[in-house]
Amino acid sequence: QKEVEQDPGPLSVPEGAIVSLNCTYSNSAFQYFMWYRQYSRKGPELLMYTYSSGNKEDGRFTAQVDKSSKYISLFIRDSQPSDSATYLCAMNDNFNKFYFGSGTKLNVKP
Amino acid sequence: DVKVTQSSRYLVKRTGEKVFLECVQDMDHENMFWYRQDPGLGLRLIYFSYDVKMKEKGDIPEGYSVSREKKERFSLILESASTNQTSMYLCASSRTGIYGYTFGSGTRLTVV
């Protein structure tokens, strides 16, 4: 069983839709959770960072962590074609090494 | 603009060749990482380093080695390239502590 599971998609939505991206994990020691966005032929870039359970909002993006269910989500409101990318979740158990999901490919159609 | 620079975007090598992938960061980060990214498998950690001349094996170190002689530079070496090492290779760096990674743009390596 992988440490982090993520649906690869692709997920295709119309412009303006609310997008929900999710990851599940097995290690209850994970406390730090991140979302990265990766455009085609580029390296991933850090999008959101949360610690422990709860919500964090940044503009159109909301990251949510439910440690009791070992489930994290990234919501994108008013999605734009420029949001089309692969989204990777990552998590850490208090050491320098992060565990990554395999990524969900999102396509926002104009 | 802080960044991680990987020396090549695309590389084609022959089976059995020794291959060097170079990565340089200008953020004075302590930690550096090498990942490979394959469809359906996501990011897999090959090696990482917490300090100059230090290295730790990741999840898939077989067939690879690394070198970190200077803080800003972390090299990945494929001792004898094989076709199953065809992949996208990503270098990343971070500060010590729980901080996000800064990734390079990647090197797409094809071994023929």
The tokens describing A51, both together, are 């610690």
Residue B73 or A52, more confident? B73
- Angle, alpha carbons A27-A98-B111 (nearest 5°): 120
Kindly state the DSSP code that residue A4 receives in the 8-state scheme: E
Q: In whole numbers, what is the pLDDT of chain A averaged over residues?
A: 92
Q: Round to the nearest angstrom and report the end-to-end CA distance of chain A.
A: 37
Q: What pLDDT is attached to residue B97?
A: 74
Region B83-112 average pLDDT? 93
Q: What residue in B sits closest to A2 (Cα-Cα)?
A: B41
Q: Tell me which chain A residues have a C-beta less than 8 angstroms from the C-beta of B40.
A: 8, 102
Q: Tell me which chain A residues have a C-beta less than 8 angstroms from the C-beta of B8.
A: none
For A60-74, how does the pLDDT look when each residue is reduced to its tens digit (9 = 90+)?
A: 999 999 999 999 999
Whether A45 contacts B104, CB under 8 Å: no
Q: What's chain B look like in SS3?
A: CCCEEECCCEEEECCCCCEEEEEEECCCCCEEEEEEEECCCEEEEEEEECCCCCCEECCCCCCEEEEEEECCEEEEEECCCCHHHCEEEEEEEECCCCCCCEECCCEEEEEC
Write the single-letter amino acid at B15. Answer: T
For B32-71, how does the pLDDT look when each residue is reduced to its tens digit (9 = 90+)?
A: 999 999 988 889 999 999 999 899 999 899 999 999 999 9
d(CA A36, CA A47): 5
Q: A92 at the B interface (CB within 8 A)?
A: yes
Region A31-40 average pLDDT? 94
Region A43-65 average pLDDT? 92
Q: Tell me which chain A residues have a C-beta less than 8 angstroms from the C-beta of B96.
A: 96
Name the minimum distance, in Å, from the CA of B82 to any CA of chain A: 23
Q: A32 at the B interface (CB within 8 A)?
A: yes
Q: A29 at the B interface (CB within 8 A)?
A: no
Q: B51 at the A interface (CB within 8 A)?
A: no
Q: What pLDDT is attached to residue A95?
A: 66
Contacts of A95 (CB under 8 A, 6+ apart): none
Query: How confident is residue B2, by pLDDT bands cut at 50, 70 and 90?
Result: low
The tokens describing B58, both together, are 């990741």
Residue B2 or B33, more confident? B33
Query: How confident is residue B110, by pLDDT bands cut at 50, 70 and 90?
Result: very high
